[in-house]
A = this chain, B = another copy of it.
Amino acid sequence: MTFRRRVGAMLVLTCAACVTVWAAAPPSDAEFLKKAQALFKPLPKVMDSAANPITPVKVQLGKMLYYEPRLSKSNVISCNSCHNLATYGVDNLPASIGHRWAVGSVNAPTTLNAAAQVAQFWDGRAKDVEEQAKGPILNPAEMGLAHADIAVENIASIPHYVGLFQKAFPGEAKPVTYDNIAKAIGDFERTLTTPGRFDKFLEGDVAALEPNERKGLATFIEVGCASCHKGALFGGGAFEKFGVFRPYQEATGSKVLDTGRFEQTNKEDDKFVFKTAPLRNIERTYPYFHDGSVWDLDTAIAVMLGVQLDKKLAIADIENLRAFLYTLTGEVPIEARTLPVLPPSTKKTARPDVN
């Protein structure tokens, strides 16, 4: 073991400089795995939270609310409208469509694995999925409710929901609150993990990756992608400037210039700073970047290489990178994909208002 480790360390030092060295003297399976394990983590089964511990009834309730169009003014839009679990928690649009066909300003990120991120939204303005869930319901260009109280009144008008809130939040005198709506939705999202083939590799099954995928992973590490896209999510752990070597819009062709966190903080250092996108299920969550400006994954890879790392790679290398990234596609849990039976409205439930 000691000998192997030393050889491994030497190889790592040698290989850090150049991918072609690896082609000549590839590291042992064990060393390669070890290197990957140091950078990446398997996805957890669930993404629990001390502040909002997962319980089966809260998840059941949260799933209903995730699919609940009565949390929108029109009764047409639910969380699942833009974060469609039939399409990996996204709508595959550059920007989502909201109330009265409003077009959103940024690309809707996937809800899959989202709870494990350092923060929510592209600019990180919500600290967790619970806080995030409160946003779209009240956004006039999304679900369009005028006030949180309307969401609470709508849900509280439906006895089946009241019963579930009582079970999900025992001991609370008035459990149907906007905070608890968000907690339930958050808890459901905390179950949305999608382990894939890459996790098998990371857990020790080195044969789980094909040779070209393994080459892609090696390149991913060597050229510097993994300095930001790391951890269990391959991203989502920090904020970085998009456009390190040149303005991103030169490469993405973005028509609107979004300054990222700067719009929240007004700090010069936050200009063009966004949350690093998690790369789990990237195959399915096109179009890419905060503005959905790029449709093709190979192009997105080339953009990132140029703009963030000042690098250009051969087509074959990009193809291997793409093949590796496809190993991050997992399975959307079937329980989450099974539509709940939503309880009927009552005379006290607000009627839909599509205007």
- Interface residues of chain A, those whose CB is within 8 Å of chain B, are 67, 69, 74-76, 81, 84-87, 91-93, 97, 100-101, 103, 283-284, 286, 295-296, 331-332, 334, 337-342, 344-345, 347, 351-352, 354
Of the A-B pairs whose beta carbons lie under 8 Å apart in the complex, a sample of 16, sorted by A's number, is A67-B86, A69-B84, A69-B87, A76-B81, A76-B91, A76-B93, A86-B339, A93-B352, A93-B354, A284-B344, A286-B345, A331-B341, A334-B338, A337-B338, A337-B339, A338-B339
B339 x A92 contact (CB < 8 A): no
**A76 CB contacts on chain B under 8 angstroms:** 81, 91, 93, 97
Name the contact of A69 in the complex, choosing from B91, B284, B286, B339 (C-beta under 8 A).
Answer: B91
Bound form: Cα–Cα A354–B102 in Å: 10
Bound form: Cα–Cα A65–B341 in Å: 21
Q: What is the predominant secondary structure among interface residues of chain A facing chain B?
A: loop
Task: Sort A-B residue pairs by CB-CB distance and give the 10 closest, nearest first.
Answer: A101-B101, A337-B339, A86-B339, A338-B338, A76-B97, A86-B342, A87-B342, A67-B86, A100-B101, A93-B352
Q: A86-B340, A347-B296, A354-B103 are in contact. Are A92 and B75 (CB under 8 A)?
A: yes
- Oligomeric state, in number of copies? 2
Bound form: Cα–Cα A173–B296 in Å: 31
Most chain B C-beta atoms within 10 Å of own C-beta, residue among A91, A339, A340, A351: A339
B342 x A101 contact (CB < 8 A): no
**What is the distance, in angstroms, from A48's C-beta to the closest C-beta of chain B?**
24
B97 x A339 contact (CB < 8 A): no
**A283 CB contacts on chain B under 8 angstroms:** 344
**What is the distance, in angstroms, from A87's C-beta to the closest C-beta of chain B?**
5
**What is the distance, in angstroms, from A35's C-beta to the closest C-beta of chain B?**
30
**A354 CB contacts on chain B under 8 angstroms:** 93, 97, 101, 103
**A295 CB contacts on chain B under 8 angstroms:** 351
A345 x B92 contact (CB < 8 A): yes
**A342 CB contacts on chain B under 8 angstroms:** 86-87
**What is the distance, in angstroms, from A185's C-beta to the closest C-beta of chain B?**
15
**A74 CB contacts on chain B under 8 angstroms:** 93, 97
